[in-house]
Amino acid sequence: MNLISHLLQRALRLDPPLTRDLLVQRDLRVPMPDGVVLLADRWAPRAGGDGLPVALLRSPYGRSGLRGAGMARPLAERGFQVLMQSVRGTFGADGVFEPFRRERDDGLATLDWVMEQPWFGDSIVLTGTSYLGYAQWAMADQLPPEVKAMVPVLTESALTLEFLRADGLSLETPFQWGVMTARQERRGALGDLLTQGRRRRRALLTLPLARSDVVAAGRRVDYVQDILTEDRESERWAGIDHRHRVAGTTVPVSTLAGWYDIFLPGQLEDFQILQDAGRPARLTVGPWTHLTADGTPIKEAVEFGLAHARGERPAERGAVRLYVMGEEAWRDFDRWPPRGYPARRFHLRPGGALSADVSADSPPDRYRYDPADPTPAVGGVRMVRGSGRADNTGLEARPDVLTYTTPVLEQDVEVIGEVTAEIWFRSSLPWADVFVRLCDVDPRGRSHNVCDGLVGLTGADELTCAEVRLWATAHRFGRGHRIRVQISSGAFPRYARNTGTGEPHGTASTLRAADQEVHHDATHPSAIVLPVRDTSLSERSS
């Protein structure tokens, strides 16, 4: 067996393969209706591969090396024949790569082509992570009956639109992705990827940001420019939002998400649409970032996808399977968000306290935010080393971070569902951001982030209630631990710096520091709102 595949399977803890003897047909030509030809590789068992269910993966990242070994090979060794296709304009495929714009038409044309091939049997399963999952949603409401299941992983049906929020530009991830895809076919691209950290940070500190792509990639990158200059209602993004197709999906869907994944909010919304429409669907959420999922996605493609491709029922389990952090265990529920977790308010109080009680009268807490020394992103929802759960001790020692902490918990507090915060806030400038993070403080005093979110304000020089939507979570704060809330005005470079000037992100060239106030009195009861388990109710556990 291929050494890379062997190491990958050990790392991912996959079940033993059914076969290790594979046939790989390279550079199959897949014609599109407009004359463009896309390229694909077919992986199949050398003996008996024809007629097996087809796993289709449509990718902008290439088909060979680690890509093929990590995605196509494990599936082909476990009961599929796999077609791994390069999307338009990438890795030998004709045309121009216009991110997200051509995946519906090209995907549907590819399905038609697959069904005409002599090696095709009678079933197809769509699978893949991130962009490969988005490519599934792009055609989900017009699938032929030969498609039996979808397994979209760490993805959502609108994908890039979350980055374009007017009230908080997500900077690092789309910038990193745009530069990576612009350079990925150049010689030495892998080496660049391994050493780009310092160059990326220098680029993201560039003013104006419109020059950042040249600093990082040596040339203009259209996607980065569009992220910086085009709002989500512009014509540039027309047609890339496929949320309206989700309810029309007729095949069974198993969607896999991560508590620290960049696409979690949209992915949970996709599942809720399926759930509310009565579609056959299930959800799995693990303790993953976008880059750290274990072998669960491949196992799900094999166990769930193959079962449906063969007309069988997959193994019985709850519609929703969640990894409950803190407990460090998988649990099953019948829906998202689970029943039995009513909202409970934890109020910010004087002296850095956090309590169910509202403070009667107290002065605001203050800090100074300086975009020239931006509050850093530590762990959390990122696509870099050290993302996910991290020690926040250093971050919380900064003067531009406020913390509010409960007394030591006398019993476990289990939080599962959507998390929000209402922070009464005022700035010395009209433009400011409010970043809120929920943390678990262990008995040794170490603070680890659970979930967080940011909102950008205009008119912030008037006292206002900032409503912050944090990432959803499933976390058990153990007895002897404490619950902590952080308040700051940024998490750079995950989010773009708020320059304090109101200038557009792409052209802003001036940085202004601001004095911020967080209020927590009876008239302005700042709080984090947590879905806390009602111990009088119970959910089925796995």
Domain of 299, CATH number, reads 3.40.50.1820
Count of CB atoms within 10 A of residue 89's CB? 17
Residues 146 and 271 in one domain: yes
Residues 498 and 401 in one domain: yes
Cα(first)–Cα(last) distance of the chain, in Å?
35
pLDDT, position 189 = 56
pLDDT, position 2 = 40
pLDDT, position 69 = 82
pTM here? 0.94
Q: What stretches in the chain show pLDDT beneath 70?
A: 1-13, 187-197, 536-542
Residues 174 and 202 in one domain: yes
Q: Cα–Cα–Cα angle for 294, 295, 299, nearest 5°?
A: 145
Relative to beta strand 320-324, strand 281-289 is: parallel
> Which pLDDT tens digit goes with each residue over 369-422?
999 999 999 999 998 889 999 999 999 999 999 999 999 999 999 999 999 999
Contacts of 352 (CB under 8 A, 6+ apart): 402, 403, 404, 405
Q: Are 320 and 137 in contact (CB under 8 A)?
A: no
Asked whether residue 236 is domain-assigned, the answer is no
47: left (phi over 0), alpha (psi -120 to 50) or beta: beta
pLDDT, position 196 = 65
Closest CA to 242 of 267, 222, 223, 209: 267
Asked whether residue 338 is domain-assigned, the answer is no
Torsion of CA 456, 458, 462, 465, to 10 degrees: -40
pLDDT, position 8 = 46
Hey, what are 444's tokens?
């040794």
Query: Up-side HSE of residue 138: CA atoms within 13 Å toward CB?
Result: 24
Query: Up-side HSE of residue 409: CA atoms within 13 Å toward CB?
Result: 19
pLDDT, position 13 = 63
Query: Domain limits at 174?
Result: 167-230
Looking at the structure of the chain, the number of domains it has is 3
Residues 142 and 245 in one domain: yes
Asked whether residue 373 is domain-assigned, the answer is yes
Q: In whole angstroms, what is the distance from residue 347 CA to residue 359 CA? A: 8
pLDDT, position 146 = 98
Residues 216 and 119 in one domain: no
pLDDT, position 539 = 43
Residues 135 and 270 in one domain: yes
Residues 14 and 134 in one domain: yes
Residues 151 and 224 in one domain: no
pLDDT, position 5 = 43
* Dihedrals phi, psi of 324, to nearest 5 degrees: -90, 105
* Dihedrals phi, psi of 121, to nearest 5 degrees: -95, -100
Q: Of 304, 332, 360, which residue sits at a domain end?
A: 332
Residues 296 and 250 in one domain: yes
pLDDT, position 229 = 86
Q: Of 306, 332, 358, which residue sits at a domain end?
A: 332
Q: In whole angstroms, what is the distance from residue 15 CA to residue 117 CA? A: 30
Residue 52 carries which side chain, given as an amino acid letter? Answer: L
Q: Of 332, 363, 388, which residue sits at a domain end?
A: 332
Residues 358 and 488 in one domain: yes
